[in-house]
Amino acid sequence: MCPHATEPETPAPDGEGCSLCSSSLDDLGVRLHDGVATLRVWSQNASAIELVIFDETDLDWETAQLGLERRPGGVWEITTHLLQPGTRYALRVGGAHSPGNTFNPETLLLDPYARGLAQGDGYEEWRSVVIADGFDWGGVAKPQRPLDRTVIYEGHVKGLTKRHPGVPPALHGAYAGLAHPAMIEYYRELGITAIELLPVQAFASEPRLLDRGLSNYWGYNTLNFFTPHAAYATEESRKAGPEAILREFKGMVKLLHEAGIEVILDVVYNHTNEEGIGGPRTSLRGIDNALYYRQHEDGSYIDTTGCGNTLDTATPAAARLVLDSLRYWATEMQVDGFRFDLATALGRDGENTYTPDHPLLQAIRTDPALAGVKIIAEPWDVGFGGWQTGNFPTGWSEWNDRYRDRVRNFWLSDIDYARRASAPTGIGGFAGRLSGSSKTFSDERGPLASINFVTAHDGFTLHDLVAYDVKHNEANGEDNRDGADMNRSFNHGAEGPTDDPGILTARRKAMRNLLGTLMLSAGVPMLTAGDEFGRTQRGNNNAYCQDSALSWLNWDHEPWQQDLLAHASLLTRLRDQNPALRPLRYARLGEHIPNASVMDWYDQDGETMEVEQWNDPRNRTLQYAAASTPDTEAFNRILLVVHGTESPTDVRLPAIEGVSGFVSLWSSADERPSPVETVHRPGEVITLPGTSMRLFRAE
């Protein structure tokens, strides 16, 4: 049986094993051997495929045209000495016209498995480039950071370093800049363990954006699944060519690994840059449109991504393309993990219905080449039945949008509502998210299935969540129609910039509460780059087309931003030092579960929470005690006090068996973290300011 088959196995085209293990789909693309190269291209419906070779400097000068021979399983093949490292080439594919097929033998197409790309003068003037893989990793291995010790930092290659004064200008916005010593020092001080990069697989801007003088900054418009985006390389590497770009990317990974920092890629396999019918024809559409993209019988696209097309992972060749790409980035490029954009689209079957048993989802989890790789789903798409949070297979983690929404509601929307009436909900739902979202994820998957986040690249920044009630996306050129309307934000009394000291104080504390909740919750925290010092996008909650100072991180910080950064750095350290905050499993009443955290809940009087208190809107204060059950670390117990109304309150610390004192570690009420660790006794009454949190270590 293959290593990632499900029961029953999906037959392979050649009749052996599951579809993803079909030998006819092995070694697609260019393979160098014995002084020559073999090119293999899959197209079930083509009638002819031609290899076109170009001059090494003039991408419009065709120097040779060679026909490929059809092999079993829909694969076309040629072996030739004309394909050598650095050779520029393209494909021409012909076939019959019928619903679903869009062959045009005059169109020059990219090899889907190309390891390098070169661009000519036009939008669709791309050529594939032969690459000789290889790199001296110098014995540097992947950090293999355990998931419970992981703190993810989501950022943009260009945006992170474009304005950083400690990074040399030649490296600004580049792969090399991301791993510059100034950046590595910052990552370490902040306490993050993994950088999750917005798409770095080669992508292209949509024509509609180019027509408006904008570009696709985020990169969710993939052109090729194997090639690093050239624009993120230094000018020196770009001039030297695709092999140099590849070396720069690998050099970045190597330096980050030396520093113990993992690299996670945000990957976009759900759709491509070819958009809907009539859009650009760069690769898959011209090679075998009918089988690479989901379609109705009349050839119109089934679009579950909102981007014009959806890759049809129900077909073996499309699913294998995704799997082979992942294998390449995990092995040749030494990447540590993947976050799958609109992952529900990848798990849709031949009837376009999502199933967690989809062969591709199972293969990603079990393929030997991906062993130890972190696998994270964005568990939704825009198709029917697209919202699937909590429904991915064991071995997958998921962006937890339920966590995001509940946390925002508790600290922002509820407070806004309470100013006009009274708080609409109690603290029970918030507590469920704080303790690991056990109602969303199964016992088998545990709290580490939850990637906790309050913000992401898509939406308001942390600062803008507390400073704007509505989006301000006018700069995107769509009359403010784009971007989410439901943000669960609260401007605290003024829309956008203000000089009101009371409003600014409340905003800063709200940011500290949100950061504190994120870092002290069970699950895996994901921090959006710049939130640690309160960066703003001036109310733009959909800055995908803003390649400008609006989206680039500003490293010139005001005193309040330095204070917020000090809080973020302290919180990551406290998370690392206290295993009770990062359980691997859910605890079960009356059982000893290794690497879980036994949780007890107390009200503001120090008494065990009663059932009716959980959802009573008048009760928004609780004390959360978590005791670790580690098998490799020392025993640890924490007490987190949460107060969710704007009026101050007195809290009596609980009497817990075996606890003689509580050491104060952090308070969101402090403008800057206090270096003093005060000790308090069980039964002692402390005063909490309105809307605040306080963390103690129980001893």
Asked if 535 contacts 553 with a C-beta cutoff of 8 angstroms, the reply is yes
Name which of 54, 60, 57, 113 is nearest 89 in CA terms.
54
Residue 30 pairs in a beta bridge with: 39
Q: Would you list the domain boundaries of the chain?
A: 19-129, 594-698
Annotated catalytic residue 378: yes
Q: Supply the pLDDT for residue 24.
A: 87
Question: pLDDT band for position 98 (50/70/90)?
Answer: confident
> What's domain 594-698's superfamily in CATH?
Golgi alpha-mannosidase II (2.60.40.1180)
> In 3-state terms, what secondary structure has residue 502?
helix
> Largest Cα–Cα distance in the chain?
85
Residue 19 has pLDDT above 80, yes or no: no
Give the orientation angle of helix 316-331 with respect to helix 359-366, to 10 degrees: 20
CATH 2.60.40.10 fits 19-129, yes or no: yes
Sorting pLDDT into bands at 50, 70 and 90, what band is 7? very low
> Half-sphere exposure (CA, 13 Å, Cβ side) for 172?
12
For residue range 214-233, list pLDDT tens digits in order. Answer: 999 999 999 999 999 999 99
Confidence of residue 186 (pLDDT cuts 50, 70, 90): very high
- pLDDT on residue 156: 98
Task: Say what the pLDDT of residue 12 is.
Answer: 53
Q: pLDDT-based confidence at 22, cuts 50/70/90?
A: confident
Kindly give, in sequence order, each residue whose CB lies less than 8 Å from that of residue 458, ignoring residues fewer than 6 positions away: 541, 542, 544
Of the candidates 111, 274, 312, 341, the residue annotated as catalytic is: 341
Average pLDDT over residues 266-280: 96
Task: Give the model confidence (pLDDT) of 403-442 as tens digits.
Answer: 999 999 999 999 999 999 988 999 999 999 999 999 999 9
Give residue 1's pLDDT band: very low, low, confident or very high (50, 70, 90).
very low
Strand segments (E) across 12-145:
29-33, 36-42, 46-54, 62-67, 69-71, 75-80, 88-95, 116-119, 126-129
For residue 587, the 8-state DSSP code is -
Rounded to the nearest integer, the mean pLDDT of the chain is 95
User: Per the residue annotation, which of 196, 378, 547, 603 is the catalytic one?
Assistant: 378
Reply yes or no on whether 341 is catalytic: yes
Residues 6+ apart with CB under 8 A from 643: 604, 620, 621, 649, 651, 688, 689, 690, 691, 692, 693
What backbone torsions phi and psi does residue 639 show, to the nearest 5 degrees? -130, 125
3-state secondary structure string across 182-245: HHHHHHHHHCCCEEEECCCECECCCHHHHHCCCCCCCCCCECCCCCECHHHCCHHHHHHCHHHH
Structure-token match 């708080």, residue found: 423
HSE, side-chain direction, 13 A CA sphere, residue 367: 24
Would the CATH topology of 19-129 be identical to that of 594-698?
yes
For residue 123, pLDDT beyond 70: no
Q: How far apart are CA 581 and CA 452, in angstroms?
A: 13
Dump strand ranges (E) for 96-197: 116-119, 126-129, 152-155, 194-197
d(CA 360, CA 377): 13
DSSP class of residue 252 equals: H
Question: pLDDT tens across 304-344, in order?
Answer: 999 999 999 999 999 999 999 999 999 999 999 999 999 99
